[in-house]
Amino acid sequence: MALLPDIHFEISERKILLRILDTLFVLACLQLVGNFFDFDYFKISQENWLWIILLTGYLNIFGTVFELYNLQQASKFQTILKNTILTVSVTALFYLLTPFYTPELPENRLQIIYFFLAMTFGILVWRWLYITLISSPRFYKRVLIVGDSFDIKKIISNLEGADPNYKIVGYINTDSSNEVGDMPETVQEYPIENLTFTVSRNGISEIVVASDYSDGVSKPLYLQLINLLESGFSIREYMQVYEEITQRIPVQHVDKDFYRYFPFSRSNQNKFYKLFHRLFDIIMALIGIAFFLIIFPFVLIGNLIGNRGPIFYTQKRIGRNGFAFKIIKLRTMVTDAEKDGAMWAKKNDTRITRFGKFLRRSRIDEIPQFFNILFGEMSVIGPRPERPVFVRELSEQIPFYETRHVVKPGLTGWAQVMGSYGSSTDDALEKLQFDLYYIKHRNLFMDLSIVLKTISTVVFYRGQ
């Protein structure tokens, strides 16, 4: 008997749906305002197709910057309200100030208000529908985990934390010698026997297998999984699901079959991509240095008042292929911050000065690294370079840690825009997972995404 899972939108499908429907609802509202009010600033017609393309482009770019397409935030209306107002405000401003390819500025300023309100209303109506319908439990993907007991809790926290619509409703413990312990009431343990009945009765959409056949999946369970697979049911391996949903590579579970998980991106050997990447680095470095020269007098004054000491400091870091170089930064800590030896920077670190806190949270302290980028020691995008002492420690504790050195270190990277600030071995493991995902999948579109997310990090003042 074929088992038909409930309807569920994957992560990529929801992101595309959000972008397309945002645009359609905005255009529909602008059209309605033009029909019922004295509004002729923005007219939808074949002659004005450039107006539509430019507005759509601005909406998508600034929607990314202000996190309208962050799925964790897309299910909270209060957050969406704030992000929508920010997105529409900047979109409207850039659109109104763009010459030639947008309508002439209206003489009646009331039309600008109509323009702003129509876009805001269109997005909010659609997002209310998204939260009410698409993000409701009826569209959750209900998942059953088949795995070893010591992994199940971590699996649940990782997958549900990355995708709010991905719900683990139960598990089958393939290691009867170990007890799972306390689990949430919403997550039930099911017996290995009669798996098909369990799937059918509980509306399971997908089974995720987190055990090796040789160690965890017994032959009776294996045969039941085969029968389900032959009926068209979705059964996937945990590490494949983990990488897809969390956009990280679970290196802690990778062993002798490491080559299966590190088929690094073709972009690492693509000469065109590497040339473009270097040209982008040089252009951004020149722009960054010019910006730094403009703000340097203000930084100098702030340093005199709030830092009291040298304005710059250099520190040895590990770069591509394990070669060391000296990174250039603005000093944010007291001058004797490491008199007792190298220490992790941490949240609310008492060694950070008053002015240093501002420099870190705004990321201004990183701007001098544009000189490292210009010299070819770093790239704009890549894994953050770490200190030799920490590289030695982490290489001993975390498998494949030095793999992150196959590309140039970066001013920003996938780990910086997706993860938390690294202040422990556990944080370093999470960052490595993101770094390896970037090295494996990197391309021009991913680089653009990182740039936009970095702007978002600066806008929301999330540096540390």
Q: What is the pLDDT, as a whole number, of residue 22?
A: 95
pLDDT band at 363 (very low <50, low <70, confident <90, very high): confident
With cut-offs at 50, 70 and 90, classify the pLDDT of residue 340: low
Domain regions of the chain by residue span: 11-134, 140-246, 271-460
pLDDT at residue 86, as a whole number: 93
Angle (CA) 433-436-438 rounded to 5° is: 110
Neighbours of 269 (CB within 10 A): 9
In the predicted model, what is the mean pLDDT of residues 128-145? 86
Residue with the bigger pLDDT between 269 and 67: it is 67
Task: Examine the pLDDT at 216 and tell me if it is beyond 60.
Answer: no
Q: Which of 157-166, 185-194, 272-281, 346-355 shows the highest mean pLDDT?
A: 272-281
Dihedral pair phi/psi, residue 93, rounded to 5°: -60, -50
Mean pLDDT of 333-346: 67
pLDDT, mean of residues 368-386: 95
For the segment 170-186, the average pLDDT, to the nearest whole number, is 76
Residue 301: phi and psi, rounded to 5, are: -65, -45
The pLDDT, as a whole number, for residue 1 is: 42
Q: Is the pLDDT of residue 461 over 80?
A: no
Distances (CA, A) of 46 to 4, 43, 50, 52, 119: 43, 10, 9, 10, 20
Do 408 and 383 meet the contact criterion of CB atoms below 8 Å apart?
Answer: no
pLDDT band of 343, cuts 50, 70, 90: low
Q: Please give the angle made by the CA atoms of 282, 286 and 289, to the nearest 5 degrees.
A: 135
Of 65-74, 147-156, 283-292, the one with minimum mean pLDDT is 147-156
State the average pLDDT over residues 280-286: 95
Confirm if 133 and 139 have CB atoms less than 8 A apart.
yes
Which fold would CATH assign to domain 140-246? Rossmann fold (3.40.50)
Decide if 332 contacts 352 (C-beta within 8 A).
Answer: yes
Q: What is the pLDDT of residue 447?
A: 92
- Asked if 303 and 284 touch (Cβ cutoff 8 Å), the reply is no
Question: Considering the chain, what is the average pLDDT of its residues?
Answer: 85
Sequence-distant (≥ 6) Cβ neighbours of residue 248 within 8 angstroms? 242, 418, 430, 433, 434, 436, 437
Confidence band (pLDDT; 50, 70, 90) for 2? very low
The pTM score is 0.80
> What are the pLDDT digits (tens) for 288-300?
999 999 999 999 9
| Percentage of the chain exceeding pLDDT 90 | 34
Identify the pLDDT of residue 140: 85
Asked whether the beta carbons of 118 and 180 are under 8 A apart, the reply is no
Q: What is the pLDDT of residue 328?
A: 94
Packing angle, helices 238-246 and 149-162, rounded to 10: 30
What's the pLDDT score for residue 32?
93
Closest CA to 130 of 89, 73, 64, 85: 73
Pick from 131-135, 277-281, 430-434: least confident: 131-135
CA 133/CA 36 separation, integer angstroms: 29
| Higher pLDDT, residue 334 or 317 | 317
Q: Is pLDDT at 13 greater than 70 in this prediction?
A: yes
